């Protein structure tokens, strides 16, 4: 007989009755009845009830086992009587009568309960993560994550992609988020950076002739954390040669849709996945209709522009008119069938808008012929009719207004759209609603400085290429830049890349960078463009966010085995730590700490 186990704790059934077996696992629960004693033994596969029968000499030693100790038991499988079988357990038809029991590793008193969720705080769970990971929900989440990644790999290989590794120690890049830096001992004063994404390497692989790359790529960004943002995370990183934007979509849609179909019933509630091809929504349209570049399409509400109504001469609502005169816009959201809602429904939304920094959330309720509400009196019948036409409002509907300069109005309208949907409880349930947001602008104007800069990836190909760069207002130039959005989450961002050095030079010049900058910062890739570069493009999917959606978890840390807290510290490992003076000397580094912030971190 094997030293530790002949079966797992989830394996034994009626067929095994009469067999002599050995099981190993953790003491999940103990029920001591004096003469007879039950131990639920747990491993990652399940639970088995093990029995110390009356008169057994084991009763004293087994009775002392603490929860979460690791034990090995040997015994015979017996069928449970019908009145003692447990239909809730997979192994509930049998139990193992112990002949021998070995305490392999005694557990101290545990800091929180494993057998049940006792609501222990996240700091405790992270400090004792190995205990937390023993719990049923975490076992489920981590297994889900592993099978999702296996499925992704299988689907990508089946789609003709090859998986690559790219460097972890690489060069800091000037754009984007803050880099994690690693001092280079052999090169005093110089640093490696951990990759924010393998962006340049995957493009260089295209230049190397591999035409379908993917990687489950670790990415590192030194920005402040959020519930859905970690210092280290994983992307399904993808790049393809000789493709158009539509090729990228039609290649990735079946992979992602298939993945979502496969895992969409993980929580027990089967969810419908948007049929491919997914809707493609231009960025500007998304900002107008949804007030967001990551719209939640489960929300049926849409935003329309009603600036023309409030600009009419017969409308005397000065609060809006003054903003329109300065170039502002008015956006409207129709909320269907809310005229019977109590006044508090509208007041709450108004209070919410004030909390968002707006003066309020104006509205008109169309009960019958004429509109009611605080600003209805400023709009004569003809203007109200025009408003109803544009907003497609009917009797019983309300229309909410946001007025500001265009970008701010769009964003607030987007938040209001989400808030009204939540308050009305009309978000569609049981679905994954996908879309691609396309035609992102190539450039944007910095609000503070007024300087034109890249709005997304500087390596994106501008639509119209050189001609657009030469002839158009930079702010009107669109890029082959796209996002994949699901239920309001940005799952993926990508682009068709700019593989032409002369177009790249021009594109960087508009953003204020000379050729020297390109050579200094992206020299390796810029050189490669001069030796035969295929047209190429790709994208990167946030794997953790995908797993979050499947697991229906609100927090990224629930789908990682080992993870840092919100301040990017690991309470279990003690990272980050102070290092010895010798280590710093090796690296030619002296620290210059803020005085009030010195903590004894070891």
Partner RNA sequence: GCGGGCGUAGUUCAGUUGGUUAGAACGCCUCCCUGUCACGGAGGAGGUCGCGGGUUCGAGUCCCGUCGCUCGCGCCA
In this chain, which of 1, 57, 105, 121 binds RNA, going by CB under 7 A? 121
One DSSP character per residue, 120-140 reads --HHHHHHTHHHHHHSHHHHH
Q: Which is nearer to RNA, 66 or 137 (CB)?
A: 66
Cis amide leading into 174 (omega within 30): no
- Determine the size of the site formed for RNA (CB under 7 A): 70
Residue nearer to RNA on the CB measure, 530 or 595: 595
Q: Is 595 in the site for RNA (CB under 7 A)?
A: no
Residue spans of beta strands (DSSP E) within 221-294: 232-241, 272-273, 280-282
Residue 448 tokens, joined? 């503070």
Residue 562, classed as helix, strand or coil, is coil
Q: Does 176 bind RNA (CB under 7 A)?
A: yes
End-to-end Cα separation, the chain, in angstroms: 48
Window 73-112: contact mask with RNA (x via CB under 7 A): -------xx-xxxx-xx--x--x-------------xxxx
By the rule CB under 7 A, 575 interacts with RNA: no
Select from 150, 177, 381, 405 the one that contacts RNA (CB under 7 A).
177
Query: In the complex with RNA, which residue's Cβ is closer, 433 or 456?
Result: 456
- Residue 3 CB, shortest distance to RNA, in Å, is 27
For RNA, the closer CB: 29 or 445: 29
> Least separation, in Å, of the C-beta of 56 and RNA?
11
Could you give the C-alpha distances from 397 to 28, 340, 365, 386, in angstroms and in order?
56, 9, 6, 15
113 touching RNA, by CB under 7 A: yes
Nearest distance, CB of residue 63 and RNA, angstroms? 8
Instruction: Give me the least distance between CB of 302 and RNA, in Å please.
Output: 22
Q: Give residues 338-377 in contact with RNA (rule: CB under 7 A).
A: none
Q: Residue 599 to residues 180, 396, 583, 593: CA-CA distances in angstroms?
A: 21, 61, 19, 10
Q: Which of 13, 35, 188, 208 binds RNA (CB under 7 A)?
A: 35
Q: Is 565 in the site for RNA (CB under 7 A)?
A: yes
d(CA 481, CA 598): 44
* Closest separation in Å from C-beta 498 to RNA: 12
51/36 Cα distance (integer angstroms): 7
| CA 203/CA 78 separation, integer angstroms | 62
CB-based contact 448:410 (threshold 8 Å) = no
Q: How far apart are CA 252 and CA 248, in angstroms?
A: 6
- Structure letter (DSSP) for residue 172: -
Query: Of 538, 540, 551, 568, whose CA–CA distance to 217 is shortest?
Result: 540
Q: Which is closer to RNA, CB of 15 or CB of 123?
A: 123
Residue selected from 384, 457, 468, 487 as contacting RNA according to rule CB under 7 A: 457
Q: What's the rounded Cα separation, in Å, for the pair 383 and 24?
A: 77
Q: Hey, which residues between 191 and 210 contact RNA (CB under 7 A)?
A: 196-197, 199
The answer to whether 224 contacts RNA (rule: CB under 7 A) is: yes
Close Cβ partners of 44 (under 8 Å, ≥ 6 residues apart): 8, 139
Asked whether position 237 contacts RNA by CB under 7 A, the answer is: no
Residue selected from 17, 44, 53, 336 as contacting RNA according to rule CB under 7 A? 53
Helix/strand/coil percentages in the chain, nearest 5:
35, 25, 40
**Which of 10, 19, 67, 298 touches RNA by CB under 7 A?**
67
Query: Which residues in this chain contact RNA in the complex, by CB under 7 A?
Result: 29, 31-36, 38, 40, 49, 51, 53-55, 66-67, 80-81, 83-86, 88-89, 92, 95, 109-113, 116, 118-124, 126, 175-178, 196-197, 199, 221, 223-229, 453-458, 493, 555, 557, 565-567, 569, 596, 599
């Amino acid at each position: 007989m094997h030293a530790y186990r002949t079966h797992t704790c989830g394996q034994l059934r009626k067929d095994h009755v009469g067999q002599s077996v050995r099981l190993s696992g953790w003491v999940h629960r103990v029920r001591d009845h004096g003469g007879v004693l039950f131990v639920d033994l747990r491993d990652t596969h399940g639970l088995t009830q093990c029995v110390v029968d009356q008169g057994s000499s084991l009763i004293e030693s087994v009775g002392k086992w603490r929860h979460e100790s690791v034990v090995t038991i040997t015994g015979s499988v017996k069928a449970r009587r019908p009145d003692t079988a447990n239909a809730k357990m997979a192994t509930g038809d049998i139990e193992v009568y112990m002949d021998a029991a070995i305490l392999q590793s005694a557990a101290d008193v545990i800091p929180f309960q494993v057998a049940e969720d006792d609501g222990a705080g996240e700091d405790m769970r992270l400090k004792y993560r190995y205990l937390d990971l023993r719990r049923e929900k975490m076992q489920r989440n981590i297994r889900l994550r592993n099978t999702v990644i296996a499925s992704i790999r299988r689907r990508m290989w089946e789609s003709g992609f090859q998986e690559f590794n790219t460097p972890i120690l690489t060069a800091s890049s000037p754009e984007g988020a803050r880099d994690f830096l690693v001092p280079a001992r052999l090169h005093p004063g110089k640093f490696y950076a951990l990759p924010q994404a393998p962006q340049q390497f995957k493009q260089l692989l295209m230049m190397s002739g591999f035409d379908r790359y993917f990687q489950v790529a670790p990415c590192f960004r030194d920005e402040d954390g959020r519930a859905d943002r970690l210092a280290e995370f994983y992307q399904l990183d993808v790049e393809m040669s000789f493709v158009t934007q539509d090729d990228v979509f039609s290649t990735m849609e079946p992979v992602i849709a298939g993945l979502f179909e496969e895992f969409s019933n993980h929580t027990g509630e089967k969810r419908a996945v948007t049929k491919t091809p997914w809707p493609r929504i231009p960025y500007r349209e998304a900002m107008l209709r949804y007030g967001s570049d990551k719209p939640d399409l489960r929300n049926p509400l849409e935003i329309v522009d009603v600036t023309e109504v409030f600009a009419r001469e017969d409308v005397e609502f000065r609060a809006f008119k003054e903003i329109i005169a300065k170039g502002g816009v008015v956006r409207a959201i129709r909320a269907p069938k809310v005229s019977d809602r109590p006044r508090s429904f509208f007041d709450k939304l108004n209070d919410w808008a004030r909390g968002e920094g707006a003066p309020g959330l104006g509205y008109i309720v169309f009960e019958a012929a004429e509109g009611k509400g605080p600003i209805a009196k400023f709009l004569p019948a003809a203007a109200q009719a025009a408003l109803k036409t544009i907003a497609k409002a009917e009797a019983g509907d309300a229309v909410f207004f946001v007025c500001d300069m265009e970008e701010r109005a769009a964003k607030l309208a987007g938040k209001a759209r989400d808030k009204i949907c939540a308050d009305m409880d009309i978000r569609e349930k049981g679905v994954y609603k996908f879309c691609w947001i396309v035609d992102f602008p190539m450039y944007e104007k910095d609000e503070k400085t007024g300087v034109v800069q890249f709005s997304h990836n500087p390596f994106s190909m501008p639509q119209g290429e050189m001609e657009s760069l030469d002839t158009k207002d930079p702010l009107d130039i669109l890029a082959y830049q796209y996002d994949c959005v699901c239920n309001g989450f940005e799952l993926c961002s990508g682009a068709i890349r700019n593989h032409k050095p002369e177009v790249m030079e021009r594109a960087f010049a508009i953003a204020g960078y000379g050729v020297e900058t390109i050579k200094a910062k992206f020299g390796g890739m810029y050189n490669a463009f001069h030796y035969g570069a295929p047209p190429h493009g790709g994208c990167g999917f946030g794997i953790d966010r995908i797993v979050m959606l499947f697991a229906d978890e609100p927090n990224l840390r629930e789908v990682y085995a080992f993870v840092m807290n919100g301040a990017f510290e690991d309470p279990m490992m003690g990272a980050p730590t102070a290092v010895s003076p010798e280590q710093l000397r090796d690296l030619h580094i002296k620290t210059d700490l803020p005085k009030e912030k010195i903590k004894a971190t070891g």
